[in-house]
Structure 1
Amino acid sequence: MPADPTLPAPVEASRPSGRFVYADTASSRAGIEAVSRKLEGGTVAILGLGGTGSVTLDLLSKTPVDRIVLIDGDIMQQHNAFRSPGAMGLDDIAANMTKVAYFARTYSRMHRGIVAHPVHLDPANLDLLDGVDFVFCCVDSVEARAFIIPALEAMDVPFIDCGLGLTLVDDQLMGLVRVTTSTPAMRAHIPDKGRIPVTGRDDDDIYRSNIQVADLNTLAATLGIIQYKQLRGFYLDTEAEYHAVYSTDGNHIINEDRA
């Protein structure tokens, strides 16, 4: 059938640029290419590819960072589909892929620098963070955080830790979304004020009953990425807060611990 001259011609993908498989035409269309270049380079690791970590990857993969290192030893299961970006197919669920393998396959369609490690971070494999410039800690285990946070501080790596705290009260959910930042220039607020939970119960029953929902996972990841972009100079930041807490009851965000 001959082409219809009244219809627009098909659009071909622009040639790749930097770490992207295809060019970032969104920045060029908006006229913010110079601002977007502030996000170029470096290696960022995401620890934990659950609801918050997977959305963090979704947003980070749209930036020109050189490498994105994924670290998580869990299998991608059906319940994960309801807290992750996009839509898993039945074949994906049946494949029993690790989370990092699934997400690396998905986001490598867009970003060339994704590296997957299907393990949990522990003292024996800290070398997986060699060359990493920044870390997003998206684990939901107190025991894991108790090891990870001091390890990152000892390595002098800046990081952002994201967490949720939700409870069921009278058939309604209430709770908090927390985003805490630590850089070599400012770390004391975390131990001094107990900003990141590193003590307490962490057994299987609590883990299985841990309430998380997709919208708040997405909010935690979004606030974390915004903070990261503020640190990189992409967003104007006049307050330089290193600890932010959003409350579902009242829709408030409290910013504290200013640099």
Structure 2
Amino acid sequence: MTKDSDTGPFVYPDTASSRAGIEAVSRRLAGGTIAIIGLGGTGSVVLDLISKTPADRILLIDGDRAEQHNAFRWPGAMAIEDIAADLSKVGYFARVYGRMHTGIKAHAVHLDAETIDLIEQADFVFVCVDSVAARAFIIPALEARDLPYIDCGLGLSLVDDRLMGLVRVTTSTPAMRAHVHAGDRIPMTGDADDALYRSNIQVADLNMLAGTLAVIQYKQLRGFYLDTEAENHAIYSTDGNTIINEDRP
């Protein structure tokens, strides 16, 4: 099938929305440029879901290579040939999701003082990095540019030979930012977050939950989902299977 003028940013038409009768609702997600910073276990899930929305462009920003361990946390099944090819993460994902969405742009870089201007192309940003130092640089840069963003992450620890974990999704918009700093909602100091990541405890289902909750929050902001709580910070706990919502306008 060749692309025509009715497919929007997609290679082929979104027949799922028309089949469900929600085309008008789906159009609320149309347009704009979304940046995803970090294409690990969580950022890859965000991409998987956002690529199925009619955003005009999706910027992928990550300077790492696609390695074998990544395949066990990413959506789908990475071919062994792709692992052997030593691809960049963003190059791999641009090729895979470019089969469906025409607006995906890959930037195989880490954000620093020389590359931070990339985010000025975005209207909305998902921060899916696993480093306190990276967050400490990225978050102030987003706020200085008045960009709305969602930062998500997870922490897992081994307790009595079983895993206990938390998934966090924190939203910041020009209309509400103070909670991020007043409540210390996003790890930007110390090394606790880095220590958790270095423990190598990363589980695909919690990565998927973090990415999914982040995209649901984004769709609430765009009016796709009804939102009666209007929370800007949520924590899911595995041991109690509970979600705590906080920081409402």
After TM superposition, the score normalised by the length of structure 2 is 0.96
Counterpart of 1:209 in structure 2: which amino acid? S
Q: Match for residue 127 of structure 1?
A: 117
Give the secondary structure class of the aligned counterpart of 2:87: coil
Identity %: 74
1:155 to 145, 150, 170: 145
Q: 1:55 to 1:203 in 2, by over 3 A?
A: closer
Q: Match for residue 58 of structure 2?
A: 68
Counterpart of 2:19 in structure 1: which amino acid? R
Where structure 1 has 5 or more consecutive residues not aligned to the other structure, the ranges are 1-11
Task: Could you list the structure 1 runs, at least 4 aligned residues long, displaced by more than 3 angstroms after superposition.
Answer: 12-16, 202-208
Q: How does 1:87-126 map to 2 (within 5 A)?
A: 87-126=77-116
For 1:111 and 1:196, the matched residues in 2 are separated by 31
Q: Deviations over 1:7-50 (max 9, x none)?
A: xxxxx789551000000000000000000000000000000000
Give the secondary structure class of the aligned counterpart of 1:220: helix
Q: Match for residue 239 of structure 2?
A: 249
Q: 1:204 to 1:151 in 2, by over 3 A?
A: closer
1:168 to 145, 158, 176: 158
- Contact 1:17 1:24 (8 Å CA) reproduced: yes
- 2:69 corresponds to 1:79: yes
Q: Match for residue 248 of structure 2?
A: 258
Larger Rg: 1
What's the Cα RMSD here? 1.6
After TM superposition, the score normalised by the length of structure 1 is 0.93
Q: 1:37 to 1:147 in 2, by over 3 A?
A: same
Counterpart of 1:125 in structure 2: which amino acid? T
For 2:128 and 2:71, the matched residues in 1 are separated by 17
How many residue pairs match? The answer is 248
Q: Deviations over 1:22-80 (max 9, x none)?
A: 00000000000000000000000000000000010000000000000000000000000
- Contact 1:47 1:72 (8 Å CA) reproduced: yes
- 2:240 corresponds to 1:234: no
- 2:63 corresponds to 1:44: no
